[in-house]
């Protein structure tokens, strides 16, 4: 003989069925939203790759140091005459781009690095590889880094902005400029404060102040008198005649590169 179910059971069953149907219809309101009253949160887009440029003084080579993901750096050597891009090492550690330099002929890279164990060192390598040819102890991250004073003279454990072709404006280290020739506009650089522990800069040309976006990571002139700058994971190149038109000669998207699988 079948057993009759009580009214409390039937009420509970109807309640669960109605809730289930409401969920399927997308109209359930009886259960609290774990994300709060604002509903689902938008997915936060990761920041673009940060790119730093090191132009050789006497050859059409520019070293690109790319950071993304956070703990990975990738090294490239860009021939700014032919636009050929050589991809080299991926480094799982920290490079200090503003304490690195490239030789006058573009064949040697010196850089300050910190490995995952927090050990610091200065190295000389053949870009775009970071395989050390010479390694010397680093004087920490405060004074570490090297630069070429001339084509044949390398200075260790130091970094000078004006050694890279910048001229100080005023009496402080907060403002600098570059001008390859008298026919080129002056490229200006000013400190723009720290963000996430990294010193940022603002760049502009005196004749074309709106050409370089405020989000640019770095800007410089190469040995051919071409303007180079980086913005949101891409590198831009302008010949002198391109500046007035505001149209780059070359744009290379480096945003979607990824380190090799483990």
The pLDDT tens digits along the chain (262 residues) read: 444 445 443 434 343 334 443 433 444 444 444 445 455 677 788 899 999 999 999 999 999 999 999 899 999 999 999 999 999 999 999 999 988 999 999 999 999 999 998 888 889 999 999 999 998 878 777 777 788 888 988 877 766 655 577 888 888 778 999 999 999 999 999 998 888 777 889 999 999 999 999 999 999 999 999 999 999 999 999 999 999 999 999 999 999 999 999 7
Cα–Cα distance for residue pair 234/51, rounded to 1 Å: 8
Q: Classify burial at 227, counting beta carbons within 10 Å of its beta carbon; exposed 0-12, middle 13-18, buried 19 or more.
A: buried
Give residue 33's region: left, alpha or beta (phi > 0; psi -120 to 50): beta
Reported pTM:
0.81
Task: Name residue, tokens 């799982």.
Answer: 92
Contact 120, 159 (CB under 8 A): no
């Amino acid at each position: 003989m079948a057993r009759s179910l009580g009214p409390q059971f039937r009420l509970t069953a109807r309640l669960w069925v109605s809730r289930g149907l409401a969920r399927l219809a997308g109209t359930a309101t009886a259960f609290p939203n774990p994300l709060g009253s604002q509903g689902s949160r938008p997915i936060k887009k990761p920041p673009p790759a940060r790119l730093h440029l090191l132009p050789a003084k006497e050859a059409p080579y520019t070293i690109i140091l790319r950071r993304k993901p956070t703990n990975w750096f990738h090294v490239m050597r860009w021939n700014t005459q032919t636009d050929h891009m050589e991809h080299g090492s991926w480094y799982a550690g920290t490079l200090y781009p503003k304490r690195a330099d490239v030789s006058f002929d573009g064949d040697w890279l010196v850089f300050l690095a910190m490995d995952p164990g927090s050990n610091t060192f200065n190295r000389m390598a053949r870009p775009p590889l970071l395989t050390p040819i010479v390694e010397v102890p680093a004087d920490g991250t405060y004074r570490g880094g090297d630069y070429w004073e001339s084509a044949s003279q390398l200075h260790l454990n130091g970094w000078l902005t004006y050694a890279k072709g910048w001229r100080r404006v005023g009496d402080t280290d907060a403002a600098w400029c570059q001008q390859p020739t008298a026919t080129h506009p002056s490229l200006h650089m000013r400190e723009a404060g720290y963000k996430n522990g990294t010193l940022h800069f603002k760049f502009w040309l005196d004749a074309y102040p709106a050409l370089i976006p405020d989000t640019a990571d770095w800007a410089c002139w190469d040995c051919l008198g071409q303007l180079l700058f980086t913005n949101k994971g891409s590198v831009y190149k302008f010949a002198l005649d391109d500046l007035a038109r505001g149209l780059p000669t070359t744009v290379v998207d480096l945003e979607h590169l990824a380190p090799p699988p483990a």
